[in-house]
């Protein structure tokens, strides 16, 4: 207890030295927090964009459909399944879908397309489909029309109000054919989605493929991917074969690989940042010990044990680390929060690259609590490790030379 009191008092005998050392820790926490917030904020937005475009965070379908995505491997969207989903607190909204391939034709032009039958209102809640309608109108409940992706519409040379011919194979080999008015044109940020998708209301799609009340999958959303593990765990306890539950991570393996590769690069850059921070803190601690040579020599010469002196110096460094880390924690929050509300816009060729990849051209930040406390804790641990140096010097410095300093 006496060592704690003495260490705390020593800090404020030379306020300038204490503030300089704490400031190096303070800025270290801020730099690492802002960098981490930008890194994980960008991941969060990429994941959010991808799952809201199409896959959702979770999908429920049959094991057979997972192996072979044919119209024959469908499920009944029963009240019992709805009840299971509704009882999971992490699920915010869900929607049924019926998906299969068909040929789309206009006059003498024909192209393969993905037909997606949806509940218009719920699909809009899950993926925000309505916002991608660039021409015409969004689907209404039981609407007999279709929404066509822009590149597919351009290829088939059709516009809003024209009639689209769809024909292919339905449930258990039944012929599927029909004429559908084009209600609207969809323009997604992703080029792949613009080339192949056609949306229609679920009852009309079920009638087209002759599936009755069957669907291929149920798409579920959670607030964000941090709530995903709990939602998955709860669903897997209740949903049994032949049904299965799968998260976006398995539905989008390419995206997961991209994020993991970028995260590895981010860890390398952060390691360099931590090294810079460590050397900055070490330089201030080195200065502190050098300035106090005479003081340390006097303390040992009047009878203070070197072990106690080392403990006091160690505690002083820890106090400065705590002070700097705590102030850095407070100082980083308004900076991160500002950029959380005002993302940094990317311009030029880099922006075009982002758009071509289907991502918004912005650098996003996150205010997730772990971003703040992990960085403050990491920098504090670095400081605690560096605090070993003053302890080492307390046992090795020459008293006579120190008194003459």
List the chain domain ranges: 2-51+256-403, 97-213
**DSSP element (H, E) containing 166:** strand 163-169
Centroid of chain to Cα 293: 50
Closest CA to 127 of 87, 161, 159, 92: 92
Task: Calculate the CA dihedral of residues 380, 384, 385, 389 and round it to 10 degrees.
Answer: 140
- SS3 assignment, position 290: helix
- SS3 assignment, position 264: helix
pLDDT class of 1 with cuts at 50, 70, 90? low
Phi, psi for residue 116 in degrees, rounded to 5: -125, 115
Q: Is the peptide bond before 242 cis (omega within 30 degrees of 0)?
A: yes
275/122 Cα distance (integer angstroms): 50
Q: Is the pLDDT of residue 300 over 80?
A: no
| Residue 379 near residue 32, CB atoms below 8 Å | yes
pLDDT class of 358 with cuts at 50, 70, 90? low
With pLDDT > 70 as the criterion, what percentage of the chain qualifies? 97
Closest CA to 242 of 59, 57, 74, 72: 74
Which comes out higher in pLDDT, residue 317 or 218? 218
Closest CA to 15 of 238, 275, 288: 288
DSSP 192: H
**CB-based burial, 336-345: b 16+ in 10 Å, e otherwise:** beebbeebee
Contacts of residue 322, Cβ cutoff 8 Å, sequence gap at least 6: 380
| pLDDT (0 to 100) of residue 48 | 77
What's the distance, Cα to Cα, between the start and end of the chain in Å? 31
| pLDDT (0 to 100) of residue 202 | 92
Centroid of chain to Cα 101: 31
Q: Is the pLDDT of residue 44 over 90?
A: no
Q: Is the pLDDT of residue 201 over 90?
A: yes
Closest CA to 185 of 118, 130, 128: 130
131/188 Cα distance (integer angstroms): 9
Residue spans of alpha helices (H) in 51-86? 63-67, 79-86
What global pTM score does this model have?
0.71
| Average pLDDT of the residues of the chain | 84
| pLDDT (0 to 100) of residue 198 | 93
pLDDT class of 356 with cuts at 50, 70, 90? low
Q: Is the pLDDT of residue 53 over 80?
A: no
């Amino acid at each position: 207890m006496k060592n704690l009191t003495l260490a705390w008092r020593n800090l404020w005998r030379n306020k300038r030295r204490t503030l300089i050392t704490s400031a190096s820790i303070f800025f270290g926490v801020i730099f690492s927090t802002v960098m981490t917030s930008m890194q994980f904020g960008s991941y969060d937005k990429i994941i959010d964009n991808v799952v809201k475009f199409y896959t959702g965070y979770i999908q429920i379908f049959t094991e057979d459909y997972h192996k072979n995505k044919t119209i024959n491997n469908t499920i009944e969207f029963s009240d019992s399944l709805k009840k299971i989903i509704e009882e999971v607190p992490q699920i915010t909204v869900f929607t049924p879908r019926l998906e299969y391939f068909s040929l789309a034709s206009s006059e003498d032009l024909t192209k393969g397309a993905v037909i997606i039958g949806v509940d218009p209102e719920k699909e809009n809640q899950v993926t925000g489909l309505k916002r991608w309608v660039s021409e015409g109108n969004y689907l209404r409940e039981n609407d007999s029309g279709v929404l066509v992706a822009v590149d597919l519409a351009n290829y088939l040379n059709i516009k809003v109000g024209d009639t689209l011919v769809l024909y292919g194979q339905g449930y258990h080999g039944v012929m599927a054919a029909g004429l559908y008015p084009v209600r609207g044109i969809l323009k997604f940020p992703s080029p792949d989605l613009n080339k192949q998708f056609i949306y229609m209301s679920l009852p009309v799609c079920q009638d087209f493929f002759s599936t009755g009340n069957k669907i291929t999958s149920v798409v579920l959303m959670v607030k964000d991917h941090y709530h995903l593990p709990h939602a998955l765990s709860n669903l897997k306890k209740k949903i049994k074969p032949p049904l299965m539950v799968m998260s976006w991570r398995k539905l989008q393996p390419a995206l997961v690989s991209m994020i993991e590769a970028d995260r590895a690069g981010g860890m390398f850059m952060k390691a360099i940042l931590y090294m810079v921070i460590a050397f900055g803190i070490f330089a201030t601690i080195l200065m502190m010990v050098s300035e106090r040579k005479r003081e340390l020599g006097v303390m040992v010469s009047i009878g203070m044990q070197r072990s106690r002196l080392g403990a006091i110096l160690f505690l002083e460094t820890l106090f400065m680390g705590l002070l700097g880390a705590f102030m850095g924690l407070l100082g980083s929050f308004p900076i991160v929060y500002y950029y959380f509300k005002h993302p940094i816009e990317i311009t030029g060729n880099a922006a075009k690259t982002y758009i071509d990849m289907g991502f918004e051209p912005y650098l996003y930040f996150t205010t997730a609590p772990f971003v703040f406390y992990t960085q403050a804790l990491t920098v504090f641990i670095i400081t605690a490790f560096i605090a070993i140096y003053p302890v080492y010097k307390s046992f090795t410095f020459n008293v006579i030379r120190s008194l003459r300093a």
